[in-house]
Structure 1
Amino acid sequence: MDSKVTEPLEIRRLTYADLPQVIAVERRAFTTPWSLAMFVLELSKPSGICLAALRGDRIVGYLVCSRYDTIWHLMNVAVDNRLRRQGIAEALMGHLFALADAPGERYTLEVRTSNGSAIRLYEKLGFRGAGRRRGYYHDNREDAVIMRRTATGEARSERALDADGAPPLPR
């Protein structure tokens, strides 16, 4: 069965309890996966936004974004290999922007030069190439494209993703 058709996508804040499933997706998605400790560190930061995409009770993707001074840094976005190109990453990014966007908010990320599908998605979402980090990826010394986005338009939503009582995002 195609889970895209049978189960709606839910996006909510990522929790520590989600990490076993997140690690499984991470290991399938990347040749140099993050460690459990890296996810725990990012979840512990009060200024970050960590989101999970679920179909039923299964995590099918996630996003980790950290705030550094005045810039949001998109640290990690992954979708289960078996469910790519179904709009999951775009939905995660849309929720991030709904929470964090305000006129002038800035975002940055790095992406492998070989990851054309991710680059196209980021461009669709308003990111533009801003440089290159030579030999950035340790597994094969591949370069990273640095991409940046500046938000325009309406101020962010102050609504919570779910009923967990999460505080408003820091400014």
Structure 2
Amino acid sequence: MMTPGESTQTRAHIRWMIRRDMEQVLGIERRSFEFPWSENDFLQCLRKRNCIGMVAERGEAIVGFMIYELHKTRLHIMNFSVDPLCRRSGIGKQMADKLVGKLSSGRRTRISLEVRETNLAAQLFFRQIGFRATSVLRDFYDDSTEDAYLMQYCHRSDEAAFAVESSPIHRMAG
């Protein structure tokens, strides 16, 4: 028996990104962003040892992707999008949940990302799944003078440290 809202939720297969995914990923990127990454931007990022790409796949179609970096104590999302035709179907949450599953109390305890101040949909999406805006990054982007919000998600065991660290008093001291 289906629960309310289940018909709008679509299970996607989430896997590592491979070279032949690039054409579909670039299509999603162009349909999603005013200032899209180029193929060279993707390749340059993915050539780094600490950079990983994931895709969400439904059937033969790539319907979302995520590029993130591994750091000593955190994961950093560099680029994240769901195809505009597939948004609000649970795919973005499935990808984010997969990344949250990589956190642990002993090692990587948080996920960070920057969101354009004009990208309200992304801000609301990440807030809904547990991210918090912790600071404003002035004139952050190379392609515009737009500010960004630094948003972070903390592993449950690290929430107390996160609350202290993101308080105004702590930021002034740092």
Shorter-chain TM range is 0.7 to 0.9
Question: 1:153-168, aligned counterparts within 5 Å?
Answer: none
Question: 1:12-23, aligned counterparts within 5 Å?
Answer: 12-23=15-26
Instruction: Report deviation, 1:139.
Output: 4.2
Match of 1:125 among 119, 122, 129: 129
Q: Whole-Å Cα distance in 2 between the matches of residues 16 and 41 of structure 1? A: 13
- When the two chains are superposed, the root-mean-square deviation of aligned CA atoms in Å is 2.2
Instruction: Report deviation, 1:75.
Output: 0.5
Provide runs of 4+ in structure 1 moved above 3 Å: 137-140
**Does 2:145 correspond to 1:151?**
no
Q: Which runs of 5+ in 2 are unaligned?
A: 1-6, 158-174
Q: Which has the higher helix share?
A: 2
Q: Deviations over 1:97-149 (max 9, x none)?
A: 22x21026122110012222211221222211111112223444221111112
Give the match's secondary structure for 2:67. strand
Match of 1:110 among 107, 114, 120: 114
Amino acid at match of 1:128: R
Work out whether residues 116 and 148 of structure 2, in 8 Å CA contact, stay in contact via their aligned partners in 1: yes
Larger Rg: 2
With CA pairs under 8 Å and 6+ residues apart, which has the higher RCO, 1 or 2?
Answer: 1
Corresponding residue number in structure 2 for 1:62: 65
Q: When the two structures are aligned, how many residues end up with a matched partner?
A: 149
Q: Which runs of 5+ in 1 are unaligned?
A: 154-171
Tell me the TM-score normalized by structure 2.
0.76
